[in-house]
Structure 1
Amino acid sequence: MSVKRQRARTSSAARSAAALTAMGLALASTALLGTGAGVSTASSHREAPLIAADPQVDNTDLYAFTSPDAPDTVTLIANWLPFQEPNGGPNFYPWADGAHYDINIDSQGTGKPDVTYRWTFHTEDKRGTGTFLYNNGPVNNLTDPTLLFRQYYTLQELRPDCDPVTLVERGQVAPSHTGRASMPDYGTLRDQATVQLPGGGRTVATQAADPFFLDLRVFDLLYGGNLSEVGQNTLAGYNVNSVALQIPKSRLAYKGDPTRNPVIGVWSSTEKQTLKLSPGKADPVGKFVQVSRLGNPLVNEVVLPSGLKDAFNSLPPSEDHNQPAVVARVLEPEVPKLVQAIYGLPAPATPRTDLQEIFLTGIAKAANGPLAVDLNSQLMNQDIDPGKFVPAEELRLNMSTPVTPNPDRLGVLNGDFQGFPNGRRLGDDVVDIALQVVEGATPGNFVQALAAGDKVNTTDKPFGTAFPYLALPYDKAVNQAN
């Protein structure tokens, strides 16, 4: 777990085309092989025993990318409450009252947040004893009296040793989509729920079509033992609860300087209080406890065994390097061995120091790992104290990487250096990337046996071109059988 304590003084903007090509080759052939350890599940849907029983606070996916239409900002999207069937009335899918829904930013590489954006929700339920309906007529505007169940939120910006700054006092949530007759223009409701932030940026809390895409038959002996069980997007038709935040890069970078300090680490987390139950009530009491956490996709799902998943959800990233059982699973991953046992494809040699660099330090020359390139480690930031840097599992984004005009779903594997694992865009196909690189694919040299991947290359609802970029929620039943 040792990290060479030095500071990389070369910015991303100064990297040469030759260095970028070398990085692509290295990542595709070795580093991204680590993401192959995550080919067996949705990114974070019901991934741990305890959180599976508490879906309202279950993180599903996290995205961080330079906004393509506002490149001086970063868009952060965090999702919760997976597998929302659109017909799930009469209560549908509210946020948990009083819980802390957080997006955390580490700009120094300490594993601790330098800034946290926290959404806290509360409910106004006007149904009472008069009706069971979520809405008792069409809802064309958030202010319509026909909308009987409403949620509001406070958004705070939290920084160490500073008083909390309230960015939004009473933001209204775009409601669950109860159907076309009830909400004939959900896009208007989402637009009305989008709030401009003081100092620049905007945010929205909304239901959305689940942006993650894959075939989950991976659990049946890795796609049926012969890659025959592929081609169905298991998450198609399901919705999630999303918070989206577009924020100036200067608010995220260390010392407010994204030119000198362009790399950030991001993770989402949820905290809640213990509930005191009484007839018809559940009152939160006591201290807040972290119950869910998500940085890179696929880590807790398949890198960690079942017995470590709940503990990982409770840890801050700053403690990751102190957990030998967690580190051991990064260095000796399980999934490549399963692929070898089922398909006969040789597993890469261990220990996987490349995985350690991807998941725990970020990729940089200063990390002293096997990938001698600069991509997305806070060690590249010029003003940090490298002596305080610790390995920590985070989704790292180099904000100086230029926006790709035509994004490639395979990211670095296909020469698109703005793609995963340099942050994560909505269209990044992390599953197909993993299926390819598990056997050492390099740009332009794919493993033909896995060329089709899981045959799910995108969602069936296109993403938007402007904030919040998410597709509107599904409004038809998942089960379309006659």
Structure 2
Amino acid sequence: MSDHISGPRALADPIADITDVYAFPSPQSPGHLVLVMNTLPFAPPNASFSDGLVYRFRLRPVAAANGDDGSLLTTAEQEFVFDCVFSAPAAEPAGGGQAAQEGTCTTPGGQSVTFRVNEPDGVASHGVRAFAGVRWDPFIMDAPAALKTIATGELSFTDPSSIYLDGKNVLGLVLEVDLALLPGADLVAVIAETLTRGTINVRIERVGRPEVKNMMLAPKQFDAVNRDLEIRDLYNMEDAFVLGETYRGAYVARLDANLAFWDGLDGKTDWPAGDGGRHPLTDLVLADFLVVDVTKPYVEQGSFLEIELATRRGELHRTCGGRTLNDDVMDTIFTQLVNGGDGPVIRDGVDRSSRPASLTFPYLAPPNPDPPALPAHH
């Protein structure tokens, strides 16, 4: 499920678990970029944000393609950071309901935007419109079928299928950012992080693209080098823009093995290994951030990975890229992994959310007042 429950630490401390990240040009306000970070899988309707966390968006201009095959987009050192923190929730009202809570977003220029959690229209100030609150989880995927595929070595998707425990909620954080706050960044890389709040900020989780951790890094059985290593917590602590060298070899070995597994599911090799068994997509996966062209208009479907794949082919991209809330990105991912886009679409049988996101702020659908509970086996 994208980045839900993406490692032991996320399972142990779900308040810091980032479930999904989205970035797209605003369909409502031209000249603005929308950033969405969802956290806390299976959030109850009265859930509150943590006052012990920093919810951080980091953006960098994309510098250039790097590599002989043009497959890797690299980022500049310049960085734009939006940090959001929350007050301790007030006592629950008598008779239950939502406890009052306040959020503060700090812009790259140091200005503060203060807003109340669950305020439907959010607050706009200093070039940022901010919303935070409980929302319907917009992720589109048959997660059990994907896990069965990994376990059996056979594509296990059915058509039609269903979203795993559809109707679950998340804590949604939405920023609509005036592009004037991102000077010189026409092509921008986006990641989201949760960190401990205080004088020392420890990164707990970071997310760029969906399913890197759960579908591409989690399976151990194909990795002959690090077969016993649960690698996702190590990966979460890394800086997505400046990947350290200490564990890089472990990430590469795991991805080379697991990407080869996905490629072989249709009985043929669409991504021939390079020197030392390197899978052609490993470096692209490790450049784990969304890439958005803020000069292009919002596109509902089909923009996810378009910039990266066009760059890999040595072509100009056509769309805004990034990731929109209603885009069925898992079909795009599975198709690229299994047949390199040179074959039928690999569908997981789920094409849309039962509560699609809207085209107006805060975009995420209102929460389910009676969501399904987290299964006991988790």
Q: Whole-Å Cα distance in 1 between the matches of residues 304 and 76 of structure 2?
A: 28
Of 96, 103, 118, the match for 2:50: 96
Checking the alignment, whether the CA contact within 8 Å between 2:326 and 2:356 is kept in structure 1 is no
Contact preservation (8 Å) 2:82, 2:108 = yes
How far the C-alpha of 1:339 sits from its partner, in A, is: 6.0
Mapping of residues 310-325 of structure 1, within 5 Å? 310-320=233-243, 322=245, 323-325=247-249
- The answer to whether structure 1 residue 84 and structure 2 residue 30 are counterparts is no
If you compute each CA radius of gyration, which structure gives the higher value, 1 or 2?
A: 1
Q: CA deviation at 1:424?
A: 0.8
Q: 1:134 aligns with which of 75, 96, 106?
A: 96
Cα 1:410–1:325 change in 2 (3 A) is closer
CA separation of 1:94 and 1:456: change in aligned 2, threshold 3 A: same
What percentage of residue pairs aligned between the two structures are identical? 23
SS at match of 1:61: strand
1:328 deviation in Å?
A: 1.4
Displacement after TM superposition at 1:127 (Å): 4.4
Deviation track 1:222-269 (CA, whole Å, cap 9, x = no partner) reads: 4974535560111521011111111122212xxx13xxx411111110
2:368 is aligned with 1:467: no
The answer to whether the 8 A contact 1:304-1:329 is kept is no
* Aligned counterparts of 2:241 and 2:340: Cα–Cα separation in 1: 33
The aligned counterpart of 2:221 is: none
Contact kept? 2:217, 2:251, Cα under 8 Å: no
Structure 2 Cα separation of the partners of residues 434 and 407 of structure 1: 13
Q: Name the CA shift for 1:308/1:410 in 2 (closer, same or farther; >3 Å).
A: closer
Corresponding residue SS for 2:41: strand
CA contact (8 A) 1:411 1:417 kept: no
User: In the alignment, is the contact (CA less than 8 A) between 2:304 and 2:323 conserved in 1?
Assistant: no
Given that 1:85 and 1:478 are in contact with CA atoms closer than 8 Å, whether structure 2 keeps it comes out as no
2:238 corresponds to 1:294: no
- Quick check: 1:328 aligned with 2:258? no
What CA distance in whole angstroms lies between the structure 2 residues aligned with 1:470 and 1:434? 22
Match of 2:147 in 1: 219
Equivalent residue runs for 1:226-237 within 5 Å:
227=156, 229=158, 231-237=161-167
AA aligned opposite 1:78: M
Question: Is the partner of 1:43 in helix, strand or coil?
Answer: coil
Q: After superposition, where does 1:10-409 map in structure 2 within 5 Å?
A: 42-84=1-43, 86=45, 92-107=46-61, 114-127=79-92, 133-135=95-97, 149-158=99-108, 164-168=110-114, 171-174=115-118, 189-191=119-121, 194-198=122-126, 200-217=127-144, 218-222=146-150, 225=154, 227=156, 229=158, 231-252=161-182, 256-257=183-184, 261-272=185-196, 287-305=200-218, 307-320=230-243, 322=245, 323-326=247-250, 328-329=252-253, 332-337=256-261, 340=264, 344-346=267-269, 348-351=271-274, 354-356=280-282, 358-360=284-286, 392-404=287-299, 407-408=301-302
Aligned residue in 2 for 1:433? 332
SS at match of 1:203: strand
Change (3 A) 1:242 1:433: same
- On the 8 A contact 2:301/2:328 being kept in 1, the answer is no
Q: Alignment length, in residue pairs? A: 338
How many Å separate the matches in 1 of 2:92 and 2:3?
33
CA contact (8 A) 1:441 1:447 kept: no
Matched residue of 1:269: which SS? strand
Which structure dedicates a bigger proportion of its chain to helix?
1
**Which shifted more, 103-112 or 293-302?**
103-112
Q: Contact 2:272 / 2:279 at 8 angstroms: preserved in 1?
A: no
C-alpha contact 2:43 2:168 (8 A) present in aligned 1: yes
Unpaired segments of 5 or more residues in structure 1? 1-41, 87-91, 136-146, 175-188, 274-284, 361-391
Q: 1:425 and 1:401, CA in 2 relative to 1: closer, same or farther beyond 3 A?
A: same
Letter in 2 for 1:478: P
3-state secondary structure, aligned to 1:334: helix
**Partner deviation per Cα, 1:400-454 (whole Å, 9 max, x = no partner):** 23334x64487749999436xx211112212111232334364xx6427x4xx11
Amino acid at match of 2:293: N
Q: Quick one: which amino acid aligns to residue 469 of structure 1? A: Y
Checking the alignment, whether the CA contact within 8 Å between 2:105 and 2:112 is kept in structure 1 is yes
TM-score, L = length of structure 2: 0.78
Unaligned runs of 5+ in 2: 64-73, 219-228, 311-315, 374-378
The code of the aligned residue for 2:201 comes to F
Runs of 4 or more consecutive aligned structure 1 residues displaced over 6 Å after TM superposition: 413-416
Decide whether aligned partners of structure 1 residues 464 and 402 sit closer, same or farther in structure 2, where only a CA change above 3 A counts.
Answer: closer
How far, CA to CA, are the matches of 1:356 and 1:262 in structure 2?
A: 26
Using the alignment, how far apart are the partners of 1:424 and 1:99 within structure 2?
25
Contact 2:303–2:319, Cα closer than 8 Å, also in 1: no
Amino acid at match of 1:120: V
For the residues of structure 2 that align with 1:469 and 1:266, how far apart are their CA atoms? Answer: 18
Per-residue deviation, 1:463: 1.5
Provide the secondary structure at the position in 2 that maps to 1:349: coil
Contact persistence 1:213–1:236 (CA under 8 A) = no
